[in-house]
Amino acid sequence: MPYITTVSIILFAVVILYNTVKILKEYERGVIFLLGRFQTVKGPGLIILFPGIQKMTKVDLRVIVMDVPTQDVISRDNVSVKVNAVIYFRIVDPEKAVIRVADVFEATSQLSQTTLRSVLGQHELDDMLSEREKLNADIQNLLDKRTDNWGIKVANVEIKHVDLDESMIRAIAQQAEAERARRAKIINAEAEKQAATMLSEAARILATEEHALQLRYLQTLKEISNERTNTIVFPIPLEMLKSYLDTTKGNPQS
């Protein structure tokens, strides 16, 4: 009997000690309730509780990474896409996180899904593909405001994937090809315009400078002489041809 009594006392003391002494790590806090009412937030380190009177809920303050499941989103230009994201948040007010919401992680997950659909639905597909940084910031700011009442701080939101169906991918590819063709035509037109301007300027200079025209004629002859061909065509300046015609008119017997 004395042995059984001793063992019972030891077990009772261990149970009391287990429920009385708590050790919280540096990144943990304990929300203390006294007879069901909020009392204080303690930690880190050694915490002493009165069994049966005080109860503690442990809260982790580290940054939490949460995947947002793939959401079906209809953009403002009526394009259906599948989008998923990841959010980074942490608890900054343990009291609010424990008292004001039953499951802070589930609540944050559900809110992030609805916010993702709401924000992206206000933008066109091109914005989703080209302005992700701005969309990330918009979603992060909106989530941060809505979760502030829960003691949550949303640090960052990143859109991971924007998935399109095959028909939309082909349409985007055709649009990109048409855009490249349009730009190529514009570049060719600009080049033709510049070339025409330069040729017009060159023609004006040659028309006003006799020596320039002769130098150009000699250069043309030099280029022709370097060609490997059996037939050589000598260009005749218009001035020379005009002089010949004038002479022929003055001498009909020629």
119 vs 219 pLDDT, higher one: 119
Over range 159-187, report the average pLDDT. 76
Q: For residue range 92-111, list pLDDT tens digits in order.
A: 999 999 999 999 999 999 99
**Whether the predicted pLDDT of 53 surpasses 80:** yes
Q: What pLDDT, on the 0 to 100 scale, is given for residue 216? A: 66
* Domain extent for 238: 173-225+232-248
Over range 184-202, report the average pLDDT. 83
Residue 238 domain flag: yes
Question: What pTM value is reported for the model?
Answer: 0.64
Q: Are 213 and 206 in contact (CB under 8 A)?
A: yes
**Whether the predicted pLDDT of 46 surpasses 80:** yes
Residue 254 domain flag: no
How far is 117 from 83, CA to CA, in rounded Å?
A: 9
**Whether the predicted pLDDT of 224 surpasses 60:** yes
Q: What pLDDT, on the 0 to 100 scale, is given for residue 50? A: 87
Over range 60-74, report the average pLDDT. 93
| Residues 52 and 70 reside in one and the same domain | no
| Residues 48 and 128 reside in one and the same domain | no
Q: What pLDDT, on the 0 to 100 scale, is given for residue 128? A: 86
In the structure encoding, which two tokens stand for residue 133, read together? 């940084």
Position 247 confidence tier, pLDDT thresholds 50, 70, 90: low
CATH number, domain at 153? Answer: 3.30.479.30
Nearest to 147 by CA among 108, 90, 115: 108
Residue 186 domain flag: yes
| Residues 82 and 100 reside in one and the same domain | yes
| Chain mean pLDDT for the chain | 82
The 3-state DSSP class for residue 209 equals coil
| Residues 149 and 72 reside in one and the same domain | yes
The 3-state DSSP class for residue 33 equals strand
Position 32 confidence tier, pLDDT thresholds 50, 70, 90: very high
How far is 245 from 232, CA to CA, in rounded Å?
A: 24
